[in-house]
Structure 1
Amino acid sequence: MKEFTIVKIKEHPKFLPEAAEWFHQKWKIPIEAYIQSMEECINSNTSVPQWYIVCDDKKIVAGIGVIENDFHDRKDLTPNICAVYVEDSYRNQGLAGNMLQFVCDDFKNKGNDYLYLITDHSTFYERYSWEFICMVQGDGELTKTRMYRRKL
């Protein structure tokens, strides 16, 4: 199995334009939001936000972010993993699990005790030691979505 390197945007700001475009294409959030968040990541000494990508040669094939709140009503459950995505042809190779563990380790080293995430998946994150804790209301959503927590 091929080894992939996870790149921290904070440490490699040259990737900002390409990473912002890639996340925008995957999630349809305005590119300006990603640019602003990644600039804050690069220029601030706070742990949130953070952005990470995985490249194969020079092409981004996976990414993940951490923001204060992933647009839901439980503002007390923070920070939140967001924008987890692996390109179809790179799935089932352990990339998502490796990214999740990398981010958990990074945030444990920053002094965090927990990370949170929301998802429509009902079994995927349990494989990586995440526990379902409650349903939350997403901003502008008609139905509730699953909230998970991971002790670091």
Structure 2
Amino acid sequence: MKIQPLYDAPHHADQVTDWLWQAFGDPLPREFFASVIDHSQTPDALPLTFIATQGDTLLGTVGLWRCDLISRQDLWPWMAALYVSETARGAGLAGKLQRHVIDYAREQGYTQLYLYSACRDFYERFGWHYIGDGLDYPATAVHLYRYDLSLSAGASTE
């Protein structure tokens, strides 16, 4: 299995767009997600989309975005649009994709990373800390999470 930027395998862009639209689209049109994917094709710039593949089979995707929750533009960057294909679920790929974004963000010098989700008790397993609730457009309550990217996070001190 390989995790790489989508710009290294752009032939997967349409499938990633379809996945994101089907998983997160209501009420947004497919064109919205196509625009995000199109703009994530620039190396070392945000938004950035990563994909997991086995050979030429697409298994999952995750993004590193400047903004994922319009009501909380004070928080950035965001891990966004984590999706694992139904056939690849249950094998730990969601954790590997998260780890990839976390490591990349840390390498870029970010000190924290955010995400939002409608579900609870999933991201905590991977080291994310619940920081409160937010509001997704137009009026959906969501849970906000923060990941501390500092190298000392979680380390014991004497």
TM over 0.5: yes
Count of residues in correspondence between the two structures: 147
| Alignment match, 2:152 | none
**Normalising by structure 1, what TM-score?**
0.84
Structure 2 gap segments, 5+ residues each: 150-158
| Alignment match, 2:36 | 37
Aligned-partner SS, 1:42: coil
Query: Post-superposition shift, 1:115?
Result: 0.8
| Alignment match, 1:108 | 106
Write the letter of the residue equivalent to 1:50: L
CA distance in 2, matches of 1:44, 1:8: 8
| Alignment match, 2:153 | none
CA distance in 2, matches of 1:30, 1:15: 19
Q: Please show how residues 115-134 of structure 1 align to structure 2 within 5 Å.
A: 115-134=113-132
How much identity, in percent, do the aligned residues show?
26
Q: Please show how residues 14-93 of structure 1 align to structure 2 within 5 Å.
A: 14-28=11-25, 29-43=28-42, 45-46=44-45, 48-93=46-91
Structure 1 gap segments, 5+ residues each: none
CA distance in 2, matches of 1:126, 1:150: 10
Pair 1:7 & 2:23 matched: no
CA contact (8 A) 2:6 2:51 kept: yes
User: What root-mean-square deviation, in Å, do the aligned CA atoms of Structure 1 and Structure 2 show?
Assistant: 2.0
CA contact (8 A) 2:118 2:141 kept: no
1:72-103 per-position Cα deviation (integer Å, ceiling 9, x unaligned): 41111111111112223322211000000000
CA distance in 1, matches of 2:56, 2:29: 23
CA contact (8 A) 1:22 1:60 kept: no
| Alignment match, 1:145 | 142
Write the letter of the residue equivalent to 2:53: C
CA distance in 1, matches of 2:68, 2:4: 22
1:19-47 per-position Cα deviation (integer Å, ceiling 9, x unaligned): 2233223323433223322232223653x
CA distance in 2, matches of 1:69, 1:52: 16
Query: Post-superposition shift, 1:5?
Result: 1.3
**Normalising by structure 2, what TM-score?**
0.81
